[in-house]
Amino acid sequence: MDDQYASVINPVQLSHNAYRILENRYLRRNEAGELELAEELFQRVARKVAQAELVWGTWSDSLFWEERFFEILCDLKFLPNSPTLMNAGTPSNQLSACFVLPIEDSLEAIFST
């Protein structure tokens, strides 16, 4: 975990069952097979989501929101959907669980979608 977060939060307090779910579904392994920590998962997610601020904001805006999002994740006040937890900051970067296709209002259009 980056040192910039050392003073921001206490380590995430998870039940044994919650950690087991994280380990089985969300935590990434490095090349040596070591699991990332819950804090590293939240850092990875916060960093990727905050990068959206770079579109119209500044680098400092992005850092501000990265820290804020990291705090609420570590405090377990908010957790995003599974694809975000699994894929943020990875080569996939697929953060959505659902996709909506526009459908015209006719049976032909519905069945061709």
The values of phi and psi at residue 79, to 5°, are -135, 135
Question: In terms of residue numbers, what domain contains 16?
Answer: 3-112
Total count of domains within the chain = 1
Q: Which residues of 18-41 are buried (b: 16+ CB within 10 A; e: fewer)?
A: eeeebeeebbeeeeeeeebebbbb
pLDDT tens, residue order, the chain (113 aa): 455 545 444 568 888 999 999 999 999 999 999 999 999 999 999 999 999 999 999 999 999 999 999 999 999 999 999 999 999 999 988 898 888 878 788 888 878 76
- β-pair partners for 29: 35
What is the value of pTM for the model shown?
0.76
